[in-house]
Amino acid sequence: MSRTVAERDTVAASRRTSGPIARTLRLLALLGATVIFVYPFFWLISASLKPSESVFDNSLLPSDWQFENYREIWTAVPLGTWVLNSVTVTLAAAVAVTISSALVAFGFAYFRFPGRNLLFGLVIATMMLPAVVLMVPQYLVWNSLHLASSQVPLWAPNLFGSAFYIFLLRQFFLGLPRELFDAARIDGANYWTMFYRIAVPLCRPALVVTFVFEVQAAWTDLIRPLIYLRDPDLFTVPRGLKAVLDQFGEGGELRWEIVCAASVVVTVPMIVVFLICQRQFTSGIATTGRKG
Partner 1 sequence: MSDPATLAGTGRRARTRRWMASWRNRDTRAAYLFILPWLVGFALLTAGPMIASFVLSFTNYDGIGPTKNVGFDNYRQLFDDPSVATSMMNTLVFTALRVPLSMALALALAMLLLRVTRGSGFFRTVFYLPVMTPSVAVGILFLLLFNGNVGVINRALEFVGITGPSWTTDGSWVKPGLVLTTLWALGGTVVIYLAALKNVPQELYEASELDGAGRWTSFVNVTLPQISGALFFTLIVNTIASLQTFTEAYTAFYGTANTQTYSSDAALFYVVYLFQQAFQFMHMGYASALSWLLFLVILVITLVQARLSKRFVYYEGEAR
Partner 2 sequence: MAAPPRRRFRRSASLAAASTGLLTLAACGGISFADDSDTFVTMGFGAGDALGTVRLERATEAVAPLDVQVNEGQFDEQQFLSAVAADDPPSVVRMDRALIGGYAARGALMPLTECVDQQGIDLDEYRPGAIDEATLDGTLYGLPDSYDNRVLLVNREVVAEATGSDTVDTSDWAGLMDFAESLQTRDGARLTRIGFDPKIPEFFPLWVEANGGQLISEDGRTARLDSPEVVEALEYAVSLIDAQGGWGRFKALRDSFDQFGANNQIARDQVGAYPMEDWYVNVLAGTSPDVDLGTQPFLDREGEPINYVSGLSWAIPKGSPHIDEACQFIATMTSAESWVEAARAKAEEVRATGAPYTGDYTGNREADRIIENEIWEPTGNDAFDEATRQLYAVQDDSFSVPANAAGTEFRKAWQSAVNRVLSGDQEPEEALRQAQDLAQTALDIANQGEE
Q: Tell me which residues touch partner 2 (CB under 8 A).
A: 52-53, 56, 88, 96, 99-100, 103, 143, 145-152, 155-156, 159-160, 187-193, 195, 226-227, 230-234, 243, 246-247, 250, 252-255
Nearer to partner 2, 189 or 202 (CB): 189
187 binds, among partner 1, partner 2, none (CB under 5 to 8 A by kind): partner 2
Give the burial string for 99-138 (b: 16+ CB within 10 Å, else e). bbbbebbbbbbbeeeeeeeeebeebeeeeeeeeeeeeeeb
Q: CB of 254: closest distance to partner 2 in angstroms?
A: 5
Q: For residues 69 and 264, is the Cβ–Cβ distance under 8 A?
A: no
110 binds, among partner 2, partner 1, none (CB under 5 to 8 A by kind): partner 1
> Dihedral of CA 244/222/216/211: which sign?
positive
Count CB neighbours of 79 within 10 A.
Answer: 21
282 binds, among partner 1, partner 2, none (CB under 5 to 8 A by kind): partner 1
Q: CB of 273: closest distance to partner 1 in angstroms?
A: 7
Q: CB of 267: closest distance to partner 1 in angstroms?
A: 5
Count CB neighbours of 23 within 10 A.
Answer: 12
Q: CB of 18: closest distance to partner 1 in angstroms?
A: 8
Count CB neighbours of 144 within 10 A.
Answer: 9
234 binds, among partner 1, partner 2, none (CB under 5 to 8 A by kind): partner 2
Q: CB-side exposure of 102: number of CA atoms within 13 Å?
A: 24
